Amino acid sequence: MSAQRVVIGIDSSTQAAKAVAVDVDTGAVVGEGRAPHSVTSGAGRESDPEQWWRALCAAVGQTGWADRAGAVSVGGQQHGLVTLDASGAPIRPALLWNDVRSAGQAAALTDKYGAATLARRTGSVPTAAFTVSKWLWLRENEPHHAERTAAVRLPHDYLTERLTGEGVTDRGDASGTGWWTPQGYDTDLLRDIGLDPALLPRVVSGQAGTARAGGPLPEGALVASGTGDNMAAALGLGLEPGTPVLSLGTSGTVYAVTRQHPEDPTGVVAGFADALDTWLPLACTLNCTQAIDKIAELLGRDREAVEPGGSAVVLPFLDGERTPNLPHAAGLVYGLRHETTAGQVLQAAYDGAAAALLSALDDVLRAGGERPDPATPLLLIGGGARGDAWRRTILRLSGRPVLVPAATELVALGAAAQAAALLTGEAPDAVARRWGTARGELLEPVAKDEAAVERIAGTLPRAGQLFTRL
């Protein structure tokens, strides 16, 4: 009988590192691990990359397979700016995707080049989230740090480099920097923003290198390129072009794999590349599960204690917002009456968060040349997909069938599929399809609550000045 082949996939997300050990032949999850890392609060969101590494090592150790894994790969939160000195040590904490201090730099860059030009060249009109905006913020606010920078990395690149010693990235995560084009790095733009291309990682596909001694894995284990977390989840689902996904986690995201290079000059849809050779148009919100949990806490209710009806509208933009692009917004509650209940206000918060994502769903598909089809089930993933209130809200506001995969850690599974592909020679998405990771519960559609959708859509433009800088 042949020995069991096991790989490890890692999701280094905003709040924690999660690892899964997976049997390459059957897709069975044979071990799991999770270790938190911390994020600063307020407009600035920063994390210590050293903490990511310690959390990764702890999570990998908890799987019980660290010393026997044949291959590994890392999926990571997108966009974060990691700056390293000449010795490879972080110069300062990483600036994360949800740090809105770089909104002014994003707007200035867009004014300078024009939204249509940037969307055509890099696929996206940058928001505060993009690495390019963060680099410009660093140069303006901490020039001494920018000058000392000897290498620029994304979160998953940093961790792959800690594992292998190789300064590499992949096209999926690179496409969220704002300085990557399908032909490679945009050297004209890089010159303009004072970033030497030599400081950037090489873009690879497939294998990044092998594990070094002294890390959590056996020396010589194969290490795949890794990718951004949304690209990894797309792989983990074995996603076919045109099937939409809605992910409810620290961020809310809606995306689809498309065959056509996406380009959206309005900036609603980011024209990302996926981790293969196709595309991943995506819209992202800053306020998702954490905003709902905070509002439930303020109301003194369990997150499931929602009640139907009423006229309340909650725009839960506690962290500012990215979709719509309102980086300086705060949360808004409107439409209260004497008869409004706390449970209705909580339901309105779910509705506000869900509506922002669902309003971008068709734009995502169209940006990549796919035809929206309301009969196609929406794949619902992320921590929030486990909640009843979230599921019912998405059914009610979308009016479409919803498929909730039984597998929970789809980012880590996608990374595991990348690792397994190195051992078997298959394509990573084919590995995930063989593993059957997208199988789950199909929820039948319910009538779309058009009145709630219209109430939210009508409140947003009327909030006007309330959403500019306080």
Ligand X SMILES: Nc1ncnc2c1ncn2[C@@H]1O[C@H](COP(=O)(O)OP(=O)(O)O)[C@@H](O)[C@H]1O
Ligand Y SMILES: O=C(CO)[C@@H](O)[C@H](O)COP(=O)(O)O
Could you tell which of ligand Y, ligand X, none binds residue 97, using a CB distance below 5 to 8 A set by kind? ligand Y
Pick 62 or 207: Cβ nearer ligand X: 62
Q: Counting contacts by CB under 6 A, is residue 250 touching ligand X?
A: yes
Question: 3-class SS at 67?
Answer: coil
**Shortest Å, Cβ 71 to ligand X:** 22
Closest CA to 438 of 288, 243, 278: 243
**Do 223 and 231 meet the contact criterion of CB atoms below 8 Å apart?**
no
Out of ligand X, ligand Y, none, which partner does residue 386 contact, by CB within 5 to 8 A per kind? ligand X
Between residues 322 and 455, which has the closer beta carbon with respect to ligand X?
322
Instruction: Give the residue from 359, 398, 408, 176 showing the smallest Cα distance to 281.
Output: 176
> Which of ligand Y, ligand X, none interacts with 387 (beta carbon under 5 to 8 A by kind)?
ligand X
Rounded least distance, CB 165 to ligand X, Å: 27
| 76 lies in the binding site for ligand X (CB under 6 A) | no
Residues that bind ligand Y (CB under 6 A): 13-14, 77-79, 97, 129, 176, 228-230, 249-251, 253, 270, 282, 284
Site for ligand X in 304-323 (CB under 6 A): none
Q: How far is the CB of 77 from ligand X (least distance, A)?
A: 7
Q: Which does 78 bind (CB under 5 to 8 A by kind): ligand Y, ligand X, none?
A: ligand Y
Which amino acid is present at 134?
A: K
Considering only residues 12-41, where is the footprint of ligand X by CB under 6 A? 13-15
Alpha-carbon distance 179 to 173, whole Å?
11
Element (H or E) spanning 293, and its range? Answer: helix 289-299
CA-nearest of 63, 69, 54 to 4 is 69
Q: Closest distance between ligand X and the C-beta of residue 102, in Å?
A: 20
79 binds, among ligand X, ligand Y, none (CB under 5 to 8 A by kind): ligand Y
> 290 is in the binding site of which of ligand Y, ligand X, none (Cβ under 5 to 8 A by kind)?
ligand X
Residue 156 CA to residue 190 CA, distance in Å, equals: 21
Residue 249 binds ligand X, judged by CB under 6 A: yes
289 binds ligand X (CB under 6 A): yes
| Strand ranges (E), 242-288 | 245-248, 252-255, 270-273, 279-285
293 binds ligand X (CB under 6 A): yes
Find residue 151's DSSP bridge partners: 84
Nearer to ligand X, 12 or 325 (CB): 12
Minimum gap (Å) between residue 250 Cβ and ligand Y:
4
Residue 228 sits in the site that holds ligand X (CB under 6 A): no
Q: How far is CA 265 from CA 43, 114, 117, 119, 274, in A?
A: 26, 9, 8, 5, 20
Closest contact distance (angstroms) between CB of 271 and ligand Y is 11
Residue nearer to ligand Y on the CB measure, 249 or 262: 249
Residue 99 designated active-site? no
Our CB check for ligand X shows the closer of 327 and 382 to be: 382
**Concatenated DSSP letters of 172-231:** HHHTTSSSEETTEE-HHHHHHTT--GGGSPEE-SSEEEEPPTTSSS-TT-EEE--EEHHH
Stretch 374-413: interaction string toward ligand X, x if CB under 6 A = --------xxx-xx--x-----------------------
Q: Per the residue annotation, which of 11, 23, 99, 229 is the catalytic one? A: 229
Strand 29-36 to strand 16-23: parallel, antiparallel, or no bridges (unpaired)? antiparallel
Nearest to 412 by CA among 104, 38, 69: 69
* Contact between 237 and 268 (Cβ < 8 Å): no
User: What is the CA angle 315-372-119, rounded to 5?
Assistant: 70
Residue with tokens 């300064």, as numbered in its chain: 167
Nearer to ligand X, 391 or 455 (CB): 391
Three-state secondary-structure class, residue 403:
strand
**Interacting residues with ligand X between 179 and 208 (CB under 6 A):** none
Tokens matching residue 402: 């919803």
Nearer to ligand X by Cβ, of 223 and 385: the residue is 385
- Are β-strands 227-228 and 71-76 bridged in parallel, bridged antiparallel, or unpaired? parallel
Virtual CA dihedral for 41, 325, 237, 216, nearest 10 degrees? -30
Strand partners, 226: none
| CB nearer to ligand X: pick between 209 and 228 | 228
For residue 230, the partner it binds in ligand Y, ligand X, none, with Cβ less than 5 to 8 A by kind, is ligand Y
Residue 322 Cβ vs ligand X, minimum distance, rounded to whole Å: 14
Shortest CB 298 distance to ligand Y, Å: 22
By the criterion CB under 6 A, which residues form the site for ligand X? 13-15, 249-251, 289-290, 293, 303, 382-384, 386-387, 390
Residues classed as catalytic? 229
